[in-house]
Amino acid sequence: MSKPPPATPAEFDSLLPETHMERRAFVATLAAAGFAAAVLPVQAGTLIHTGDEGLDSGDLSLPVSGGELPAYFAAPAARAARSRLPVVLVVQEIFGVHAHIRDVCRRLAHLGYLAVAPELFFRQGDPRTLDNVGAILQEIVANVPDAQVMTDLDACADWAFARGGDPERLAITGFCWGGRITWLYAAHNPALKAGVAWYGRLDGPRSALTPQHPVDVAAALHAPVLGLYAGQDQGIPLADVTAMRGALQQAGSASTIVVYPDAPHAFHADYRPSYRKDEAEDGWRRMQAWFAAHLG
């Protein structure tokens, strides 16, 4: 089974930290928050922490092909009798389900959603054990089949429905690697009602494990997707964004793409130097409006 060719440095420059710091000073923080050493330095000054007051949240494990799928969930602790919660699947970056992704789940739960974030690399390895982006990409990400990711997300959706989630109000959002997965899942699951993809790759090399990219499935989306992209993203050329917009238009899709001209890749990641508060907050507002419009 073939693997995608090695990533070029230019494609992933924007994933790397912009400064270098003494690693030892951050070991305890990284361990506590679940961050991989590859994301150093963690920007404590902008890191957002959302409390779990009024929430039902925690870790879970789901039986899937190949083992037990770890995941984190958050939902409102109280709801009206017989009411069912809208469900949002939250898809990780390449760094796994760390403190930031868990915080995103809690933010969504405070808005009334049942949010679930699965550890989609659990069979291939733990990004927290690796100290550079290249190793994570080549040793873990390159070995993750898209088809496996789709079925794992299906398992999370089924778990959410069994726990009080509404099968008629299923959405997905993802960041970076998870942004690409968001587009693919919108073409995979006919029950999906909406997606929001944050700076997910739109095109690239194809292989047995990654046979299609978002630009290939633009005409097959079951649900409208809002794409949130960065004008200064070194890994996702604006030409790819233009091509995706053209494919969506040709397909008559209700999906749309917003580009923040001055933002870099990972502008929503409040724990990294790439964080841009204005663009992140605007994107979050747009996501809320998108879900409200399509989930009812």
**Residues known to be catalytic:** 176, 233, 265
Tokens of 211: 């046979």
Question: Which helix (H) or strand (E) covers residue 247, if one does?
Answer: helix 238-251
Q: Are 273 and 18 in contact (CB under 8 A)?
A: yes
Residue 185 is given by DSSP the state H
Distance in angstroms (rounded) separating the CA atoms of residues 246 and 218: 9
Distance in angstroms (rounded) separating the CA atoms of residues 122 and 273: 27
Q: Are 295 and 194 in contact (CB under 8 A)?
A: yes
Distance in angstroms (rounded) separating the CA atoms of residues 86 and 38: 34
Distance in angstroms (rounded) separating the CA atoms of residues 118 and 194: 18
**Which residue shows structure tokens 């506590």?**
32
Cis bond before residue 41 (omega within 30° of 0):
yes
